[in-house]
Amino acid sequence: MTSFADVRPSPIAGQWYPSNPKQLRNSVEAYIEAAELPDIQGEVIAVMSPHAGHLYSGPVAGYAYAAVRGLAPDIVVVISPMHQPYYQPLLTSAHRAYETPLGQIKIDREILFALEKRLQAQLGFGLAEVSNDLEHAVEIELPFLQVALVNDFKLLPIMVRDQSKKVTHALGLALADVLKDHKALLVASTDLSHFYPQEIASTLDTVMLSLVEAFDPEGVLKAEEEGKAYACGRGALAATLWAARGLGANHVQVLRYATSGDVTGDYHQVVGYGAAVVTKMV
């Protein structure tokens, strides 16, 4: 694999997932192999996957990446929230590549530039570039992509701080526009409710997943505003759904739901995890 001079080093390898390449590959493969997928019809355009440490959310993420196993997109767009203290509405990496223990993934600067132009035209601002960031929600998906996909894809990392309809809808439309002539895969990186007892979390998360399965990005955003359901990456999820729709997707299927309590055995305060696939059915 080609080595790039300006690479974002991983701040989470060895903490959020194994730093040993063989151990990491084996664990990711095990999560994917363990997934018992339903029948998935149509062309896969996007997936939703959680972004906690692999130990906690890996069993659910495995379902999302089992759905894309064997695909060979030219570009993968990973859209996540930004948990770190940056305040720009939309962010991306200033680096030329991301690095995980499984190798480097080049960022597609050309498509980033095209996306920047469209966002500037629609919103009056574009993507703020950050260096050496500590954000985990994009990177946590990368080892799964490196294992599941069969080619050396390029990456488009996008982190969302402004989760309003105006910004996320514009992002989705702009992404669909710049990706329409490419073989692309979209990944929405999000967890669901945080730190509720299992029974309450299950109720909240059922609402959110029903909105995802209904292909309702506006409903995803409104659910949190109305206190009916929660997702830390709701803006990333809504933008992904709008972009997928712009690329011809017309169907969403929830593949798996679980909580951190299903791993730890502690159901007093859990985090919800969901996996879904977005497809284009003829």
Per-residue pLDDT of 80-121, as tens digits, reads: 999 999 999 999 999 999 999 999 999 999 999 999 999 999
pTM attached to this predicted model: 0.96
Burial 152-167 (b: 16+ CB within 10 A, else e): ebbbbbbbbbbbeeeb
Please give the residue range of the domain that contains residue 153.
Answer: 7-280
User: Is position 253 within any domain?
Assistant: yes
User: Is position 23 within any domain?
Assistant: yes
Q: Are 234 and 272 in contact (CB under 8 A)?
A: no
Q: What is the pLDDT of residues 248-272, one digit of tens each?
A: 999 999 999 999 999 999 999 999 9
Indicate whether 1 pLDDT > 50.
Answer: no
Q: What is the pLDDT of residues 190-248, one digit of tens each?
A: 999 999 999 999 999 999 999 999 999 999 999 999 999 999 999 999 999 999 999 99
Q: What is the mean pLDDT of the chain?
A: 96
Q: Indicate the pLDDT class of residue 5, thresholds 50, 70 and 90.
A: low
User: Is position 138 within any domain?
Assistant: yes
Token pair listed for 277: 């696939």
User: Is position 1 within any domain?
Assistant: no
Q: What's the one-letter identity of residue 144?
A: F
What pLDDT is stored for residue 282 in this prediction?
Answer: 84
Q: Indicate the number of domains in the chain.
A: 1
Q: Strand 184-189 to strand 43-49: parallel, antiparallel, or no bridges (unpaired)? A: parallel
What mean pLDDT comes out for the span 183-192? 98
Nearest Cα residue to 270 out of 50, 84, 49: 50
Q: What is the pLDDT of residues 7-44, one digit of tens each?
A: 999 999 999 999 999 999 999 999 999 999 999 989 99
Rounded to whole angstroms, the Cα distance separating 201 from 181 reads: 40
User: Is position 177 within any domain?
Assistant: yes
User: Is position 2 within any domain?
Assistant: no
The domain that holds 131 is classified in CATH as: 3.40.830.10
